[in-house]
Amino acid sequence: MTTQTFGQIIDGVALSSQLRADVAQRIVALKARGVTPGLAVILVGEDPASAVYVRNKVKGCLDTGVHSVFEKYEATLTEADLLTRIAALNVDPSIHGILVQMPLPKHIDPLKVIEAISTAKDVDGFATLSAGELMTGQAGFRPCTPYGCMKLIESTGIDLRGKHAVVIGRSNTVGKPMAMLLLQANATVTVCHSATPDIGFHTRQADVVVAAVGKRNVLTADMVKPGAIVIDVGMNRNDEGKLCGDVDFAGVKAVASHITPVPGGVGPMTITMLLVNTLEAAERAAI
Ligand code: GUN
């Protein structure tokens, strides 16, 4: 008989640092072949949260040996000028990944910008072609947040084959690609969203729950099957202004076998997977 354990924390900081050490090692090997992975990070405007994310992305590059080019533009930058800049980066051999931080100012169409990035350099994995590659099982770039969630699940050592996974949220950047990755790992996948009448009905049957809504307490203990794995993608603030996820962590921790905290779970993994994608873009270009 195996005994079930509850409330094991999946440490995204520790897993990130392991993966980043591996990235740094692979970069040393690539540099020995004369190639340094390069990431262009573009920020348009003054959104304070974006400024923090971008700073952390550039720092991640610095820490692992990725060459980063950070370009910051005024909020008045025209869409045409941004597209011209992306076209130049698409053909710059020192740049293997291009990331345009979202959201963009209202006068710039994000879809046009995302589609302008060369698929070979789409390290965010947001473009239609990358999404199509993911859906059809081809080796494109996986969006960083769901890719990081998969690594967190993998780190529990539990095989997803035949397991029931429930994703709450259907965004193009997290929910939908998350469902595709879980499917690729042979899970049976259910996607719940704002029009699902009783989310708990589905999550109570789930071996894995990924909460990616952007609202506090979307998942509470009564909605979780004992022994399930719970991955919390949310980044919210509670009434005291403290960072919290979509999951009622204290309650769910007592029921779940494994759970990611916020902060310190999915968050650090997103940037780590961006570094992994950038390295892979450079490795592919070096072949
Ligand atoms: N804004 C918030 N998260 C992301 C991300 O992962 N990539 C980009 N490009 N913009 C974001």
pLDDT reported for residue 1? 62
Taking the C-alpha atoms of residue 195 and residue 248, their distance in angstroms, rounded to an integer, is: 21
Per the CB < 8 A criterion, the answer to whether 170 and 178 are in contact is no
* pLDDT tens-digit readout, 43-85: 999 999 999 999 999 999 999 999 999 999 999 999 999 999 9
Is the CB–ligand 1 distance for residue 98 below 6 Å? Answer: no
Is the CB–ligand 1 distance for residue 235 below 6 Å? Answer: no
Q: How far is the CA of 102 from the centre of ligand 1 (A)?
A: 5
Give the rounded percent of residues in the chain with a pLDDT score beyond 70: 99
Q: Considering the entire predicted model, what is its pTM?
A: 0.97
Alpha helices, H only, 120-216: 128-135, 144-154, 175-184, 199-203
Say whether 124 is catalytic: yes
Per the CB < 8 A criterion, the answer to whether 19 and 151 are in contact is yes
Q: How far is the CA of 16 from the centre of ligand 1 (A)?
A: 18
Taking CA atoms only, the protein residue closest to ligand 1 atom 9 is 101
3-state secondary structure of 52: helix
The yes-or-no verdict on residue 123 having pLDDT over 70 is: yes
Q: How far is the CA of 144 from the centre of ligand 1 (A)?
A: 9
State the Rg of the chain over Cα: 19
Q: Which atom of ligand 1 is closest in space to residue 270's alpha carbon?
A: 6
Say whether 222 is catalytic: no
Say whether 57 is catalytic: yes
3-state secondary structure of 167: strand
> Could you tell me the residue ranges of all domains in the chain?
34-119, 143-267
Is the CB–ligand 1 distance for residue 100 below 6 Å? Answer: yes
Helix axes 144-154, 12-32, angle to 10 degrees: 110
User: Is the CATH number 3.40.50.10860 carried by domain 34-119?
Assistant: yes
Domains 34-119 and 143-267 share a fold: yes
Q: Which atom of ligand 1 is closest in space to residue 99's alpha carbon?
A: 9
pLDDT band at 3 (very low <50, low <70, confident <90, very high): confident
Is the CB–ligand 1 distance for residue 101 below 6 Å? Answer: yes
Taking the C-alpha atoms of residue 29 and residue 94, their distance in angstroms, rounded to an integer, is: 17
Is the CB–ligand 1 distance for residue 233 below 6 Å? Answer: no
The yes-or-no verdict on residue 182 having pLDDT over 80 is: yes
Is the CB–ligand 1 distance for residue 277 below 6 Å? Answer: no
The overall average pLDDT reported for the chain is: 97
Q: Looking at domain 143-267, which CATH architecture does it have? A: 3-Layer(aba) Sandwich (3.40)
pLDDT band at 287 (very low <50, low <70, confident <90, very high): confident
Q: Which of 121, 122, 124, 246 is catalytic?
A: 124
Is the CB–ligand 1 distance for residue 102 below 6 Å? Answer: yes
Q: How far is the CA of 179 from the centre of ligand 1 (A)?
A: 19
